[in-house]
Amino acid sequence: MREAELWARMNRVLGDHYAPAWAELVVLSDLEGRTVAEALRDGVACKAIWRAVAEKLELSESER
């Protein structure tokens, strides 16, 4: 997964305006205590980030 797809998915589930703020503020335990933004800066794979986001948001299988 590319970063553009990660952002498209996050925008779809969180909204275009809320997703960037959420990515900066919400700490995800599945990302070793990092936010989405920190994980991206640290080079974590976008697929792993999306899995952590989907888990945190308790998305259904169809939304993942």
Q: Binning pLDDT at 50, 70 and 90, where does residue 63 land?
A: confident
Global model pTM greater than 0.85: yes
The domain in which residue 46 lies consists of 3-56
Token code pair at residue 50: 């999306």
Residue 50 makes CB contacts below 8 A (sequence gap 6+) with: 1, 6, 9, 64
Classify residue 10: in a domain, yes or no. Answer: yes
Specify the number of domains making up the chain: 1
pLDDT tens digits for range 2-59: 999 999 999 999 999 999 999 999 999 999 999 999 999 999 999 999 999 999 999 9
Q: Rounded to an integer, what distance in angstroms lies between the CA atom of residue 8 and that of residue 32?
A: 23
Looking at residue 61, its pLDDT comes to 86
63 vs 48 pLDDT, higher one:
48
Give the chain's radius of gyration (CA, Å).
10
Looking at residue 62, its pLDDT comes to 83
Q: Rounded to an integer, what distance in angstroms lies between the CA atom of residue 39 and that of residue 53?
A: 11
Classify residue 30: in a domain, yes or no. Answer: yes
Q: Rounded to an integer, what distance in angstroms lies between the CA atom of residue 61 and that of residue 2?
A: 20
